[in-house]
Amino acid sequence: MAGRPRKKAAGSAGSKKVKPSGPVPCAVLWGLDPSSEKGAAVRAVLKDMGVVARTAGYERLGDAAGAFARLPGFRSAPVPYAGPEPAVGEFVLLCGLSDAQVNEFLARSREAGCVVGPKALLTKTNRAWPLVRLMDAVAAEHAQMGGGGDSGAD
């Protein structure tokens, strides 16, 4: 076997790299400043559930929704976003949560008094959309439906 590098003997179990089973469940937040009462309450609900909160900054609004969830094949846009502000003041995009987790988030948000109106689930259809487009589409849906209440994740 000359010319072929030898494999190193297996070391400690801690040295072996383990691939995660998939992207970590997360929530992408817009317009919910962590220093505000509501922003802090939403983040506390997510943290208690073991869901990572990611804040979307204006310059990243052009990134595909899937990039925020860190899905394979999705990257940040090469150029910072420079378009109009989204039509929503606050928004939550739930990524990789089960139906039970979505229902738990909605219930805990109500209990904590931090319900966010416009929200959506990351889907195969919308994961390639720029985040700003997704937020505007959800805002338009909410406006058509009357925009009130917490009828569930869009």
- pLDDT, tens digit (0-9, with 9 covering 90-100), for 129-148: 999 999 999 999 888 887 55
Give per-residue pLDDT as tens, 13-52. Answer: 555 555 555 567 999 999 999 999 999 999 999 999 999 9
Q: What is the pLDDT of residue 150?
A: 47
Q: What is the pLDDT of residue 143?
A: 84
pTM: 0.80
Measured between alpha carbons, how far is 117 from 129 in angstroms, rounded to an integer? 20
- For residue 91, what are the contacts with CB-CB under 8 A and spacing of at least 6? 28, 29, 30, 31, 116, 118, 119, 120, 135, 138, 139
**Domain definitions of the chain by residue range:** 24-145
